[in-house]
Amino acid sequence: MIRLVAALLIATPFAGLAGWPLTSANSFVQAYVQPSVEAVVWTGDHPTPGLGRWDDDAFFAPRLRLKADASAGSHLFLHVNAALDRGFDPGSRADGETRLDEAILRWRLFEDERLNIQLGKFASFFGGWIPQHDFFDDAFLLAPLPYSQIVGVQTRDPAALSPGAITARSAGRAPAFATLDKQNWASTIWGPNYACGVAAFGSTEHFDYAVEFRNAGLSAHPDSWEELNFANPTVTARLGYRPDASWAFGISGSHGSYVEKGAPLVRFDRGSLERSSAGFDARWSHHSLIISGELIYSTFETLAAGDLETVAWYLQTRWKVAPGFWIAGRFGQILANDASGTGDAGTEWQPDIWRAEAAVGWRITSQLLFKASYAHTEGDAAAGHDLLGFGLGYQF
């Protein structure tokens, strides 16, 4: 059904409705439909660093996106964001798919932003990157390292995460996880994490706050975002403080099961293996410069390898050197503890990884945007090092 709705929404522009504001006679009901096209060409090493997956020298990832906003009065809003592309992660559905990324029904309780309640499928409130993840808002083509790099936690077969298996992988006697199907493994946060659920959030002059209750964990693969099963929910909260417009700080927390659907539940149930995360984000901006970063600590419970812990961070900057033209840079790391082995021995379950990135963006017109992005990753022995992307986006 979700896909049918998405397909209808994708077809809407060709029915002559797209790109236009729509208003009822008394202006009580308003709608705004915004189609766009994003076309990215990726090229680089194999296996691909990050969440992409392809075998050719280059991969063409076009995306037709349709966003629609509607309001009834000043308190009720609907937002829909659908896509037709070759997979949420480049190459994950190379033959193409139609997907509903966001479908939000929001009730604004007051005339200002003090308190909103929304339900549906929506991006997580965790951290500081997600509010700017849209192609036309993000300075880069690739998500920051914690949002785009898998780590050695098996979300669909947690029982396989034994000290023996970790040791075999570490010693090279078993395939490294990055060469395996990436959907079986966790990312610290998987992209914007469009999961389903309910959230309450708001803003005042100095504070932002949000609590969300959703069906899938932050590390869950996109297929799990649509699973309407709230038996093992993930609860996430964020508190942001803005002393003035220049500075923004936030702390986030998330707790819930990381085991995804399809996992063989032999010696455990999904609720018995949980992950917890705590994050700190900060942003400073003034005139043409924005500097922002995040630090995320995560711990994953396992059946036999102890608690697997990661610390992931990144720092990024964007500088507009001319109207519509910017340059950007980013550096990030993922550091991990050792898994519990036999006796007191610790086993490396996750290599330390770092990634350095550079990007340029040129907003040629208010509708047309070109971006180029280069990423160099080190430490992940099973994946390549270099990834280069060129993207062109057009908003109709």
Partner 1 sequence: MNVAAILLILCLPSAMLAAEPATGGVTGKVPLPARTNSRIAVEKYTGSISGKVGSPPLPKAGVWIEGPGLTPSATPPPIQLSQKDYQFATSMLVVPCGATVIFPNEDPDYHNIFSLSKTKRFDVGRYKTNERPPPRVTFERAGFVRLQCEIHEHMKAAVLVVNSRYFTVTDETGRFTLRGLPPGTYELHAQFDESSKWNMPVTISAGRITEVNLTAPAQ
Report the interface residues with partner 1, using CB under 8 A.
20-21, 23, 30-32, 69-71, 77, 79, 102, 104, 106, 108, 111-113, 123, 125, 130-131, 201-206, 208, 210, 240, 242, 244-246, 248, 285-288, 290, 320, 322-324, 363-366
Cβ neighbors of 257 (< 8 A, separation 6 or more) are: 217, 232, 234, 270, 271, 273, 274, 275
Give 369 or 372: the residue with its C-beta nearer to partner 1.
369
Give 101 or 301: the residue with its C-beta nearer to partner 1.
101
> How many residues would you count in the chain?
396
Give 64 or 70: the residue with its C-beta nearer to partner 1.
70
Give 135 or 185: the residue with its C-beta nearer to partner 1.
135
SS3 178: helix
Q: Closest distance between partner 1 and the C-beta of residue 109, in Å? A: 13
SS3 9: helix
SS3 305: coil
Q: What whole-number distance in Å separates Cα of residue 301 and Cα of residue 255?
A: 11
Cβ neighbors of 92 (< 8 A, separation 6 or more) are: 51, 53, 86, 182, 183, 222
Q: Closest distance between partner 1 and the C-beta of residue 350, in Å? A: 30
SS3 198: strand
Q: Closest distance between partner 1 and the C-beta of residue 324, in Å? A: 5
Give 210 or 339: the residue with its C-beta nearer to partner 1.
210
First to last CA, the chain: 27
Residue by residue, DSSP assigns 311-325 as EEEEEEEEEEEETTE
In the block, tokens 């910017």 appear at 326
Cβ neighbors of 171 (< 8 A, separation 6 or more) are: none
Give 29 or 304: the residue with its C-beta nearer to partner 1.
29
Q: Closest distance between partner 1 and the C-beta of residue 56, in Å? A: 35
Give 249 or 268: the residue with its C-beta nearer to partner 1.
249
Cβ neighbors of 121 (< 8 A, separation 6 or more) are: 100, 101, 102, 103, 104, 194, 195, 196, 225, 226
Q: Closest distance between partner 1 and the C-beta of residue 80, in Å? A: 11
Output the CA–CA distances (angstroms, integers) from residue 78 to 53, 83, 121, 312, 394, in the order listed: 33, 17, 11, 34, 23
Q: Closest distance between partner 1 and the C-beta of residue 192, in Å? A: 9
Q: What whole-number distance in Å separates Cα of residue 311 and Cα of residue 95?
A: 35
Q: Closest distance between partner 1 and the C-beta of residue 250, in Å? A: 8
Q: Closest distance between partner 1 and the C-beta of residue 313, in Å? A: 20
Give 328 or 339: the residue with its C-beta nearer to partner 1.
328
